[in-house]
Chains A and B, each alone.
Chain A
Amino acid sequence: MSSEMIGVIGIVLLIALILFRAPVGLSLFLIGFSGYSYLTTLDVGLAQLGMTTLNIATSYVLSVMPLFILMGMILSYSGLGRELFEGVDKWFGHVKGGMAMATIGASAIFSAISGSANATTATVARFSLPEMKRFGYNPGLSAASVAAGGTLGILLPPSVALILYGVLTMEPIGPLLIAGIVPGILCSLFLMATVYILVMKNPKLAPTGQTRAPLKEQLKAFTPVWPFLLIFVISVGGIYFGLFTPTEAAGVGSFGAFLYTALTGRLNWQKLKDAFDETARLTAMIFVIIIGADLLGSFLAITRIPATLTLFVADLSVSPYVVLVLILLVYLIMGLFMEGIAIQVLTLPIVYPIIIDLGFDGVWFAVIMVLMINIGLLTPPLGVVCYIIHGIDRTIPLERIFANVAPMIGTMVILTVILIIFPEIVTFLPDIMTE
């Protein structure tokens, strides 16, 4: 049997396991480990199991996750999140679906700068989901807004994905980072419009818009939340202005939240314990999935599926646009099962030269590819941000989260099509910059 076939069988078994109520993270572990063992030997698979588990869990860069989650938990348990949404209601409550749109915007900014879709989802979901529910929003819509918003940061600078693209293809990194800005903002607006359309078609999804709060009330709504905004500005702004790296910002942000809420008496001992307890558990849950996804990724790498798929498409002699669409399709398929960085590393050496040969712009393609990877973050069976949301609010069934995210994915596909038809939307800003 070919190694590619083994990979396909592995994926089928994975889906079967997940459907049969097996724990998702450990299912990824099991298939990754058994597949690697099957294609090598049991001893090798076992060694890989131990090494990957420990190496990922001790990664400095990944500590950004528990620290940002902790910040969100503390703000949430202290009641600051509640007050924040009272303010959001004053500002956007008169727009139908306004709170969900504001959440998309907030997620986009937070993930843009924190650099982690997972950390953003966990942080924002923890205080926004209960609040939107309180205001009468449909939980599925709220979940989809947080999830889709969280993926946007990968397009907006700083972006590890676009830097990696630069290193993998030798495209200059500066223009790549600039190229993500307009599509990133456009994608946020498109997603907000999606919420608006969804609410228009089904008014039960969001509360009826009230009359617009007067400006005085809107401004007054800031009073209780300024500490929240200050913590946000210090930690997230600190990254932007070169005070610290994302990991450090997460530590400073959680400490700032801890200090402020403790000193103002908003956080008693019990709430403090609850915040740490829940953060630790959420971290454990997320890391089982992340380590499992890595093991699965290594297995799929040695099945040669990514290379075989891309080479197959490359060898087709059809029109450039058909090849492009097929390549994007391959990215969507791989996004079902694999993480973005692994996908880039395994495919770009083959895909990038083809794209250039076909006459497409390398910087433009980076943005299109990142959009595909973003979609992958939202699709089952490996859709980590959706799992995180389910981990935070168990009352929203997973299948419902995935179903509600579907229109958001549709929007991202539409945006991709627009960017293919009008590549200038992506390239004009980097072009101005390099002139």
Chain B
Amino acid sequence: MLDKTIKDLEKVIYPLNAIAQRIAMVVLFILMMITVVDVTGRIFIKPLYGAFELTGFALAIVIFFSLGYTQIKKGHIHVTFLVDRFGKRTQAIVDVITYLIFFLLVALITWQVADYAFRLHVGNDKTADLGIPVFVIAVISSIGILFFAFTMLLELLKAVQKVVKNE
């Protein structure tokens, strides 16, 4: 039952985060080009209008859209030497607790960035040069963090699976 749920979820969550990662990579390229166009423009003709705020937006997308894929690839940092010495079952139990906590935390962050987006929308906040509504980037960011939350949920279920199996 749990096995099947995990398999089914993986079929959705993995591709979702793989796509998000592709988006992050493309936006990273755009981030590089924004600066290049801005600098060459400034030296020879005129700087890129709105480069400052576009850079910030691009950075946020690179970070948030890459979070989930980084989790799948085990890219976030952990200190393992202590727990590695525990028995397999204890390790699994520790993981269930930490992933439960951190799944909830990432869900909270998703919610709060979305909530901030709402406040920015109501407050009519805009970027300085281009007048882009700031809530747009907040919404996009919260979507990226939501994908990250999905991967944490998956980690949680896998940890539970390990506890169950070791019984």
* Direct contact, A vs B (beta carbon within 8 Å): yes
B75 to A: closest C-beta gap in Å: 5
Q: Chain B residues near A50: list those with CB within 8 A.
A: 109, 111-116
Interface string of B26-49 (1 = CB under 8 A from A): 001101111110110001000000
Q: Would A53 and B113 be within 8 Å (CB), given that A22-B102, A248-B35, A391-B75 are in contact? A: yes
A379 to B: closest C-beta gap in Å: 14
Q: Chain A residues near B138: list those with CB within 8 A.
A: 54
Among A54, A66, A252, A287, contact of B31 (Cβ-Cβ < 8 Å): A66
Q: Chain B residues near A285: list those with CB within 8 A.
A: 70, 75-77
Check if A25 sits within 8 Å of B76, measured CB to CB. Answer: yes
B61 to A: closest C-beta gap in Å: 9
Check if A398 sits within 8 Å of B35, measured CB to CB. Answer: no
Check if B32 sits within 8 Å of A22, measured CB to CB. Answer: no
Check if B106 sits within 8 Å of A26, measured CB to CB. Answer: yes
Q: Chain B residues near A312: list those with CB within 8 A.
A: none
How many residue pairs bridge A and B at CB < 8 Å?
A: 185
The reply on B67 being an interface residue by CB < 8 A is: yes
Check if A21 sits within 8 Å of B98, measured CB to CB. Answer: yes
Question: In the complex the two chains form, what is the Cα distance from A397 to B83 in whole Å?
Answer: 13
Determine which residue in A22, A24, A47 has the highest number of CB atoms from chain B within 10 A of its CB, and name it.
A22
Check if A252 sits within 8 Å of B60, measured CB to CB. Answer: no
Check if A59 sits within 8 Å of B56, measured CB to CB. Answer: yes
Check if B36 sits within 8 Å of A255, measured CB to CB. Answer: yes
Check if A23 sits within 8 Å of B77, measured CB to CB. Answer: yes
Q: Chain A residues near B106: list those with CB within 8 A.
A: 26
B153 to A: closest C-beta gap in Å: 14
The reply on B57 being an interface residue by CB < 8 A is: yes
Q: Is the interface of A mostly helix, strand, loop or mixed?
A: helix
Q: Chain B residues near A283: list those with CB within 8 A.
A: 28, 62-63, 66
A241-295 residues with Cβ-Cβ distance < 8 A to B are 243-244, 247-248, 250-252, 254-255, 258, 273, 276-277, 279-285, 287-289
* A400 nearest CB neighbor, chain B only: B81
Check if A21 sits within 8 Å of B78, measured CB to CB. Answer: yes
User: Contact residue range for chain A?
Assistant: 35 or more
The reply on A390 being an interface residue by CB < 8 A is: yes
Among A46, A58, A282, A387, contact of B112 (Cβ-Cβ < 8 Å): A46
Interface string of B48-76 (1 = CB under 8 A from A): 00001101111110111111011001011
Question: In the complex the two chains form, what is the Cα distance from A255 to B35 in whole Å?
Answer: 9
B51 to A: closest C-beta gap in Å: 9
Check if A397 sits within 8 Å of B98, measured CB to CB. Answer: no
The reply on B16 being an interface residue by CB < 8 A is: no
Check if B98 sits within 8 Å of A63, measured CB to CB. Answer: no
The reply on A49 being an interface residue by CB < 8 A is: yes
B112 to A: closest C-beta gap in Å: 3
Residues of B within 8 A of A (CB): 21, 24-25, 28-29, 31-36, 38-39, 43, 52-53, 55-60, 62-67, 69-70, 73, 75-83, 94-95, 98, 101-102, 105-106, 108-109, 111-116, 137-138, 141, 145
Q: Give me the 7 closest cross-chain CB pairs, A-B, nearest first.
A: A251-B35, A50-B112, A58-B56, A284-B66, A50-B116, A280-B66, A276-B25
Chain A to chain B contacts (Cβ below 8 Å), 6 pairs: A46-B112, A53-B112, A54-B141, A58-B137, A63-B59, A67-B35
